[in-house]
Amino acid sequence: MNSNSLSEPGGKVRLYVEAALGARVEPSAQAAHYLLHVMRAKQGDGIQLFNGRDGEWLARIDEVTRRSCVLVCERQTEAQAETPDIWLVFAPIKKTPGDYVAQKATELGVRALQPVYTHRTIARRVNLERMTANAIEASEQSGRLTIPDVRAPLDLDKLLASWPHERKLLFCDEAGDAPPIRDALAQAQDGPWAVLTGPEGGFDDGERAMIRALPSVVPVTLGRRILRADTAALAALAVWQALRGDWAPLPVRGRALT
């Protein structure tokens, strides 16, 4: 959860809630504890709310008790907007870099986080609850109006067998003959995409052949240097956002709708 000051009149703390926005919101016990006992919130303090559906709203804290409160929505400050249609498909890695990938991929605007098991994947336990918490916190901090869809892990062969044909798969293939990512994306068409990165040891030859056989695959290289798995995922997402995504001038945030 975002830890900015609650005392500012614009409601600088952003909080994700699941309830509909526009009237009264009863936050979860965890969210209420955070506001009242971690942030020391008081009745009348402002807060920004979003739920992934109704845009962003300025709300005020009301009806405070020891363990709960009510949030009263005052006005919508930003209309709902979608992130670009980009997924991150990645082999799970160790806990700390894994947390980092979930957080930073969320900041970079991914719609879905899809772990995939490969032959060389070392981290075989994926804590989806922890990944979701990291994604929510990063959404609150970064100002996005949605949270990514955090999906259960799949084996690589099962993922590829059910891959939607209309979604291009940007395959970060550091062991084969592939064009630079900039060149490949500059010539690509718009539409739904996904970035695929492997484990610390990379994909084996059989997996590479299976991935490259997919009709929608776009193999690319990320340059001469050997990148860590977490670095490769975020670098590929950043390049995609710069060339095919929403890294364009945006209107000033925080202006109330009329």
- pLDDT of res. 247: 85
Tens digit of each residue's pLDDT, the chain (258 residues): 654 444 344 446 889 999 999 999 999 898 898 888 888 888 999 999 999 999 999 999 998 988 889 999 999 999 998 889 999 999 998 877 889 999 999 999 999 999 999 999 988 889 999 999 999 999 999 999 999 999 999 999 999 999 999 999 999 998 768 999 999 998 888 899 999 999 988 999 999 999 999 999 999 999 989 899 999 999 999 999 999 998 855 555 544 443
pLDDT at 244: 92
Enter the DSSP assignment of 86. E
**The pLDDT value given to residue 229:** 92
Is residue 78 within 8 Å of residue 145, measured between CB atoms? yes
State how far the Cα of 34 lies from the Cα of 21, in Å rounded to an integer.
Answer: 19
Model pTM score? 0.88
Residue ranges of domains in the chain, CATH in brackets: 14-78 (2.40.240.20), 86-244 (3.40.1280.10)
Give the pLDDT of residue 257: 46
Q: What is the pLDDT of residue 143?
A: 93
- CB contact burial 229-241 (16+ within 10 A = b; e otherwise): bbbbbbbbbebbb
Output the CA torsion 178→201→131→127 (10° steps).
Answer: 140
pLDDT of residue 189: 83
For residue 68, the 8-state DSSP code is -
pLDDT of residue 94: 82
Residue whose C-alpha is closest to residue 30's, from 147, 129, 144, 138: 129
